[in-house]
Structure 1
Amino acid sequence: MSTSRISFPEKVAYGLGNFMPTAVTATGGMAMYFYTDVAGLSAAFIGALLLLVRIVDAVWDIFVGRRVDATRSRWGQARPYLLWFAPVLALALVASFTVPPLEGMARTVYFVAAYTVLWCAYSLIMIPFQSMLPMVAPDPDERLRMAGVSSFVQFIFVVGCAVGFPVLKDALADGSPAQGFQRAAMVFGAAGLLFTWACFAFVRERVPPMTGGPAPDLKADLRALLASRAWRAGVLAQCVLATLIGLPLAACVYYFTAVIGKPQLIGPFMGLGGIGLVAGVVLSDQLTRRVCKKRVYVGGMLAGALLWTAILLGGPDRLPVVFVLSLLANVCLGISAPISYSMNGDIADDIEHRSGKRVVGTLIATINFSNKVGAGLASAIVGGVLSITAYQAGAAQQAPQALQGVVALMSIIPAVMALGVAAIMGWAYPLGRAQLQQINVELAERRAALA
């Protein structure tokens, strides 16, 4: 297993599985506008709906992860979910952007059901898809290469979906905004279905399911996770990293509107950030071929911290400096993306090596929950800073402290988050290259004996 190699076409096919989850998250930015301005629902109701879905998510993700761990089929443990539930997610996406011929409470119930089903179906694809990586690539180095290709494809999808959905919903509207949203969702759903089935068809799981041993026990499996130092560090790092990613995304609108005074630059700024992420993925592959990925990860976060801090030097008269520094900071984020992705499989191997339990699905569910908490913290931090600094929504002129708060959200606060990730991974995360190679050899021998 330690010398096995996965073909490049199979790595690309695995990356295609990113499209459906990416389409759901990318169109989520348009959901609020759709529900308020097209469907006619109140903003307060939408806020309550989003909270409800997150509460349901917390329980549902663990259930899905447990089902993946318990699944046994001729296609493997994770791949069957891509086959069975891709149509469900595609239909749920269309239903979520469809205005039904209903009124009053009936329409409200419809949207609550549609949006809840959408995110439950999302978990039925996302958790098995992410769980596939250690099942497909048992070798840590090959797993990292596969995660790099997947991240590269994913970032292309992120940019394509973020730009493509607004364009499609306008082009297909034919005078009806509701019709435009529905038809755009149909296109995205159909494309996602084909890409997800291609991932199922051309990727194979190489690590066989465990046989024998103790019966699945949620409490025992959670104890195995909690006992792993790698899991504890990984969950905390993922949470802080998700907060770090969310801060500039949420704050850049306020930055270019209130501080710079040029909201038309938001789109180019986001596009340049996407280019930086893709470049970082390519650079990550080259760096990790020569240096331990843990060191590359920590180094990327430290460099990012310096770059975000330097944005303090920017301003309306130094826009090129802001764009260049942000581009380079996103390169650092791109470097971390495939490494953090592949580390989930490394943690799963470490837990199996220590406890004899393979709980990949449950582990991915906890990582996803950590990411969701981090995204929520990013929104809370942005809202808290704006509130404390007396930011006035829609005001032509903002108080100096409000402008300073917005600048901090684009610079010093992300820098502190990056330092936090570097500290966690540098001091608390125990799995370097030597440890992973030893774990891989021993697991290969153990699995061969069981086979």
Structure 2
Amino acid sequence: MSQTVLHGHDVESVTDKKVKNMVPWNERFSYSLSDFACNLSFQMVGTYLMIFYTDTFGISAAAVGTLFLVARIVDAFDGPFWGIMIDHTHTKWGKSRPYWLWFSIPFAVFCVLVFTTPNLSLTGKLIWAYITYIGVDVLYSAVNIPITSILPSLTSSSQERVTLSTIRQFMGTAGAAIITGITLTMVSFFGGSTTSSKGWFIWALIVGIIVVIIFAIVFKNTNERVQTKSSRESIPIKESLKALKKNWPWAIIIFINFIYWMGMQTRSQVTVYFFKYNMHNAGLASFVLSLQFVSLIAVVLTPLTSKLIGKRNTMLIGMVMAVAGQLLLSLGATHLSVSIIIIATIIGYLGTGYVSGLIAVMLADAVDYGEWKNGVRAEGIVTSFSSFSAKLGMGIGGVITGWILSVTGYVANKTQSVTALHGIEMNYIWVPLIGFALSGIALMFYHVDSIEKKMQGDLAVKHAKENAEN
């Protein structure tokens, strides 16, 4: 039986299911570049924007914390919006893919604006910060949600999805490690110091240009090859929401995505504070952040590990390692031991390497589960809540950081009190630990691995019947 498959501008017939499920290496690499581009820009925002606001732009930590909460709550709702838009998009390029063409340039522009320091009053600075920060978040969703929503359309093979997500996570982690590792150096190079407004602007502009070029490559070389009856039609909002009914795998992964990124956000955005004030060595922050490269070991091992013990158990191992890393980090902070902190960081990054890449795969499985359980395949709305939950978690993580710094008496560019140092340590160690631990507990209730073969078999029969009728 012949099946119609979309390949960029061309439509061709494919009879070999195995060929249909395999994605060529050039496309695998191009797909992975999408996360590389996102992390180049958004990791710069997530890691450095708070210290840029407090130590360069002159906004108080409390005001920044409130800004992060309000902006993220407002912005979090754009996730479902983009998901609905994707489910209603039908172009010659597919459903998810055109969003990289349409929104990469606006996203890059706002990535530059958010690190721009116009000469304004304090009120004006806050207004500017709200507009640019919300703008960069909304546009980030426009280019990031398609990265996840397109995955079920790239292949129907669960193992191939793991491979794609692993390569994507490898490149995404590389992008995060590069940008967090060199940003302070580049800002200082272009501006003369790590607090230079000129340095931040020039570096953000360079990163923005690189991001646009990369997304053009991603758009050109990816294809939405898995076509179902649902994917060829516009799904009414009420109908698409049925895909979430009793979709427990989706609910569990969305909760994990929320609490996990809450912890990750608090840790990443106070890393510079911790080494600048607690360890009295700001330069060490760049080295520690660059250690994200070690997570690539876990990323590379993810396909084999998940094949041997399942996706749930692989992610659970990652969460346990992340918790162990935070506990060891507390010992290093107590004794101001750089060596212990480095070892703890390596263990933690190895753990998160197992986690991050599998979230997208499990969401793709939730798309299948929603169709299998409810008869509705809605890639956009199901995967868009990943952005919603992550942003809400990061927003709450941001406000937790800002408020703890404020309550404990943090004063920018001054010697910090013992209480303020404890506040920084709380953000860096204990809030992330709670997030990782709760994520691990939630994973205990995830049981898709045990029914995956039957689910995929039933869906294959359903799709074949639908395609035969069209």
Scaled by the length of structure 2, the TM-score of the pair is 0.81
Moved more, 54-63 or 64-73: 54-63
- Determine if the alignment matches structure 1 residue 435 to structure 2 residue 435: no
Q: Does the alignment pair 1:398 with 2:402?
A: no
8 A contact 2:62–2:403 mirrored in 1: no
Paired residues of 2:73 and 2:395 also in contact (CA < 8 A): no
Q: 2:39 aligns with which of 9, 18, 22?
A: 22
The alpha-carbon deviation at position 2 of structure 1 amounts to 6.4
Distance 2:32 2:300 in 1: 14
Q: Is the Cα–Cα contact under 8 Å of residues 68 and 396 in structure 2 kept in the other structure? A: no
Match of 1:5 in 2: 22
TM-superposed deviation, 1:278: 1.9
Question: Which residue type is aligned with residue 365 of structure 2?
Answer: D
Aligned partner of 2:371 in structure 1 is 352
1:60 to 34, 59, 78: 78
Tell me the CA shift for residue 407 of structure 1: 5.2
The one of 252, 255, 258 equivalent to 1:239 is: 258
2:171 to 142, 153, 167: 153
User: Contact 2:294/2:350 (CA < 8 Å) preserved in 1?
Assistant: yes
Structure 2 residue 469 is the aligned partner of structure 1 residue 449: no
**What percentage of residue pairs aligned between the two structures are identical?**
22
For 1:20 and 1:186, the matched residues in 2 are separated by: 14
Matched, 1:296 2:322: no
The answer on 1:69 being equivalent to 2:105 is no
Residue in 2 aligned with 1:140? 158
Alignment of 1:176-195 (within 5 A): 180-195=199-214
- 104-113 or 51-60, larger mean C-alpha shift: 104-113
Aligned-pair CA distance for 1:346:
0.7
Q: CA deviation at 1:111?
A: 6.3
In structure 2, the CA distance between the partners of 1:174 and 1:52, relative to structure 1 (3 Å rule), is same
**Structure 1 CA distance, aligned partners of 2:229 and 2:373?**
15
Q: Write the letter of the residue equivalent to 1:67.
A: M
Give the match's secondary structure for 1:75: coil
Contact (CA 8 Å) 1:2, 1:444: kept in 2 or not? no
- 1:114-129, aligned counterparts within 5 Å? 114-129=132-147
1:137-188 deviation per Cα after TM superposition (whole angstroms, max 9, x unaligned): 2211110111000011011111222344444444445999555444433322
* Rounded Cα–Cα distance in structure 2 between residues aligned with 1:308 and 1:79: 38
Give the structure 2 partner of residue 221 of structure 1.
Answer: 240
Q: What is the CA–CA distance in structure 2 between the aligned matches of 1:351 and 1:309, rounded to whole Å?
A: 38
Cα distance, 1:316–1:262 mapped onto 2, change above 3 Å? farther
Structure 1 residue aligned with 2:304:
286
Instruction: Give the letter for the 1:337 counterpart.
Output: S
Q: Which residue of 2 aligns with 1:341?
A: 360
Amino acid at match of 2:166: G
Listed one character per residue, the Cα deviations across residues 218-266 of structure 1 (whole Å, up to 9, x for unaligned) are 3443343142111111111111211232343345455445654544432
On the 8 A contact 1:2/1:441 being kept in 2, the answer is no
- What is the distance in 1 between the residues matched to 2:118 and 2:336? 50
Q: Residues 124 and 247 of structure 1: is their aligned pair in 2 closer, same or farther, counting only changes over 3 Å?
A: closer
Q: Secondary structure at the match of 1:17?
A: helix
* Unmatched 5+ stretches in structure 2: 1-16
> What secondary structure is seen at the aligned counterpart in 1 of 2:448?
coil
Residues of 1 paired with 2:76 and 2:255: CA distance? 17
**Partner AA of 2:203 in structure 1:** A
Deviations 1:356-375 (Å, cap 9, x if unpaired)?
21222112221211112222
Q: Distance in 2 between matches of 1:181 and 1:62?
A: 32
Are residue 329 (structure 1) and residue 345 (structure 2) matched? no
CA distance in 2, matches of 1:440, 1:404: 50
State the secondary structure of the residue aligned to 1:6.
coil
Please give the secondary structure, in 1, of the residue aligned with 2:150: helix
Shift of 1:205: 1.0
**Aligned pairs (5 A) from 1:30-45:** 30-31=48-49
Cα gap change, 1:44 to 1:411, in 2 (>3 Å) = closer
User: Residue type of the partner of 1:27?
Assistant: M
RMSD of equivalent CA atoms: 3.6
Distance 1:257 1:174, change over 3 A: closer
User: Which of residues 310, 317, 320 in structure 1 aligns to 2:339?
Assistant: 320
Partner of 1:83: 101
State how far apart, in whole Å, the 2-side matches of 1:95 and 1:60 are: 20
- Partner residue of 2:111? 93
Quick check: 1:94–1:182 contact (8 Å CA) kept in 2?
A: yes
* Conserved? CA contact 1:248–1:409, under 8 Å: yes
Distance verdict in 2 for CA 1:180–1:382, change over 3 Å:
closer
Q: How far apart are the structure 2 equivalents of 1:36 and 1:358?
A: 45
Match for 1:225: what amino acid? L
Using a 3 Å threshold, how does the CA distance of structure 1 residues 263 and 181 change in structure 2: closer, same or farther? Answer: closer
| CA deviation map 1:335-394 (0-9, x unaligned) | 112112211101111101111212221122212111122223334444566678x56655
Aligned equivalents of 2:59 and 2:401: distance in 1? 25
Q: 2:469 matched to 1:420?
A: no
Aligned match of 2:12: none
Deviates more, 1:121-130 or 1:55-64: 55-64
Do the aligned residues in 2 keep the contact of 1:2 with 1:138 (CA within 8 Å)?
Answer: no
Measure the CA separation in 2 of the matches of 1:341 and 1:317: 37
Matched residue type, 1:140: S
Change (3 A) 1:379 1:63: closer
Alpha-carbon shift at residue 214 of structure 1 (Å): 9.2
Give per-residue Cα distances to partners, 1:7-32, cap 9 Å, x unaligned.
Answer: 23221110111244223323324445
Moved more, 124-133 or 223-232: 223-232
Counterpart secondary structure, 2:309: coil
SS in structure 2 opposite 1:289? helix
- The verdict on how the C-alpha distance between 1:446 and 1:372 changes in structure 2, with shifts beyond 3 A counting, is same
* Matching of residues 204-215 of structure 1 within 5 Å: 204-208=223-227, 210-211=229-230
The one-letter amino acid paired with 1:71 is T
Structure 1: which 5+ runs fail to align? Answer: none
